[in-house]
Amino acid sequence: MSDLSVLIAGKAGDGINQAGLLLSRLLSELGHRIYMSLDYQSLIRGGHNFSVIRASRNPISACRDKIDFLLALNQDGIDLHTRKLTDSSRVIYDSDSVKPGAMKNGRLGLPLAKIMKEQGAAPIMRNSCLIGAFCGRVGIEWQVLEKVFRKHIPREIDLNLALARAGFDSAEPIMQLEPLDQTPLPVFTGNEAIGLGFIKAGLKTYVAYPMTPSSNLLHFLADVAEDFSLKVIHPESEIAVILMALGFSYVGEKAAVGTSGGGFCLMNEGLSLSGMAELPVVIVLGQRPGPSTGLPTYTSQTELHFALNAGQGEFVRFVVAPGDAEQAFYWSQVALNVSWKYQVPSIILSDKEMAEGAFSFDVDSVRNVEEQGPVLWDRKDAYKRYLDTETGISPLAFVPDKDAVIKVNSYEHDEYGITTEEALATKKIQEKRLRKETVLSQELDGYETVSIYGKRDSATALLCWGSNKGVCTEVGEDLGLRVVQVHVFSPFPERKLGEALEGVTKVISVENNATGQLARLVGSHGFSVDERISKYDGRSFSVDELKREVGDLNGPA
C-alpha cells in the first residue's frame, strides 16, 4: 500500500496525541513519509480528540477524506468517523466501551479494561494495546514496534510493551506493510522544527506565556534547554514576555517569543518598542480562528494583515510564513539572523496545522543557513547607539561595556539615544530606520521568498501560503496546475512573485480565512486573483476537498 491513513480517536486524557506520534514513527520506521494532523477541543478532559496519520511514499503535509484504519477508544470514535470509512477500511476498538453496531467493516474488538486490569496498567495506556493490534493487523514486525516504543516512551516501557504485545498477539494479519526503499526520517512537529532552527541560529533565550498553538514550542525548548544552554522563561503575561525578551536583546542575547492572536494583541506596544528602539526580537505568531478567543484549538490564516500592520508608527519588520517542517527550520534561522543583522522585529506566522502537525523531517533537503552575528561597534569613534549609516544599520555595543554609553529609547531620539522633538533630527532618524528595508529587500533577493511547484508551465496557478503549501502542491501535481507559494510578506517580494506568475492567465488563491488576506495583499502590489477558495471553519483543507473545489472552478478533475 503506497498511501495509508490511520485515525485514532478517544477523549482528552486518553493520550491521543502521543499515540498518533507513535503510530507516525512506526510507519516512518518503514520508510514512509508522514503527516499527522491533531484535532482536539478546548477542554482539559473529555470531549473528542483524534489524530489522523497519513503515510505515503512521497513527501506529504495534508490528509485525505477517507481512512484505511480506525482505532477507537470510545463510542464517539466510532460514531463521529464512520463516514470516513470505505468498504475496505478496518476498525480496531475497545470492546469494553464501544458498541460497533451494524458496521460491516472488518473489525477487531479488544477487551481493554480487562487487559489493563490483568497487567495492572492505568487506563491511559490502552492506546499501547491498540497500537500493538494495529501492527499485528498490518504485518509490522514486533521488533520494529519494540524499537520505536523503547526510543519514544520515556516511562514504564516494559508495561507498555506488555500491553502492546497483548494487542499484537490478538490480531491476525490482514496485510503485509513492507518497508520502503527509503531512509526512515525523524518525525517532528512544525513548532519543534522552529525550535531546532532557533537553536542552530544561536538562540539564547525563549520567553513565552502558553497559548495554543504555540505552547508546544515552549514545552519543546524547555525540554532541551539544558542540552543547549538555553534560558526558557514563562513570565506572568504576554506583555512581560516581549518586554523581557527586549531586555535580553539589549544585553546582547538572541531572544525569541511565542504566542497566538490574543497574546500578540498584548505584545503590540512591545513590538513598537522593538521598532523604535531597534531591539531585535523574533515573534512566533500561531494563528487560530478569531475574533477574540474564537476556536482556540483549531486552525486559520487570519493574522497576515495583523502581523503586517501591528504596532503604532512606521517601522521595518520581517514577516515570513513557512509551510512545512523543513521550511520552518530554515526560515526560523533566517528570521533570527535578519532580526540581529538589521535590528528589527521578525514575525514567523504559523497556524495550528503547521505548529502542531507532525511531519517527516529531512534535514538534508534544507539549504544551510550560517549563523550571522550583529554589526558591532569598531571602537574607533565615540559610541553612538543610533549612528546614521548608509544602510541604516547602527553598530551595536552591549552593556556592560565600560567604553560605551548605550541608550535605547522609546521616544524619538538622536544618534546618541537622547530624546528629541526637533524636526530635522526626527526626520533624519526616521529615514535611517526605514532605510534598512531597502537593504533587507536587496538581501532577500538571494532567498527563495516565492516557490513554484507542480506543472511549472501551466497557465492556471494555485496561490497559497503557510500550511496550505502541502495540500496545494499535491492537488497541483494531480491536476497539472502551477502552484505558487509566497514565503515572505514583508518586505514583499514583488519581483519574485511577478516572475513566478509569468504566463499565468488564471490565479486561484487558496486560504484558510473568509476574506482572502493574501489575495488582498498581492492585489495591493498589482497582482490580480481571479478566483478565491476559502475555508474558515477551523479545519484545514483535505486533498480530496481542495481537488473538488479546484475542479469546480477549473473544469472536471
- Whose CA is closest to 321, among 310, 336, 306, 332? 332
Under 8 Å between Cβ of 348 and 331: yes
- What pLDDT band is residue 484 in, cutting at 50, 70 and 90? very high
- pLDDT tens by residue, 232-248: 999 999 999 999 999 99
User: What stretch of H or E contains 69?
Assistant: strand 67-72
Q: Which residue(s) pair with 454 in the sheet?
A: 482
Summarize the confidence of residues 368-385 as an average pLDDT: 95
pLDDT class for 557, splitting at 50, 70, 90?
very low
Measured in whole angstroms, the distance separating CA 424 from the mean position of its chain's CA atoms is 44
| pTM for this model (two decimals) | 0.96
Instruction: Kindly state the average pLDDT of the residues 338-364.
Output: 97
Residues 521-544, mean pLDDT to the nearest whole number: 98
Return the C-alpha cell found at 437.
528595508
State whether residue 510 is helix, strand or coil: strand
Q: How many CB atoms lie within 10 A of CB 372?
A: 15
- Give the pLDDT band of residue 100 (cuts 50, 70, 90): confident
Q: Which residues contact 464 (CB under 8 A, 6 or more apart)?
A: 323, 472, 483, 484, 485, 486, 509, 510, 511, 518
Q: Cα(524)–Cα(545) distance, rounded to whole angstroms?
A: 29
Query: What stretches of 372-451 show up as alpha helix (H) in DSSP?
Result: 423-444
Q: Which pLDDT value is given to residue 445?
A: 96
State the cell numbers at 340.
540581529
Burial of residue 327 (number of CB atoms within 10 Å: 0-12, 13-18, 19+):
buried
Cell of 302: 487570519
Q: Which three cell numbers stand for residue 206?
A: 525563549
Whether 308 shows a pLDDT value over 90: the answer reads: yes
- Arithmetic mean of pLDDT over the chain: 96
pLDDT tier at 555, thresholds 50, 70, 90 = low
State the pLDDT at residue 553: 85
CA distance 232 to 235: 10
Question: Within a 13 Å sphere around the CA of 287, how many CA atoms are in the beta-carbon half?
Answer: 30
| pLDDT the model gives residue 44 | 80
pLDDT of 106 over the 90 cut: no
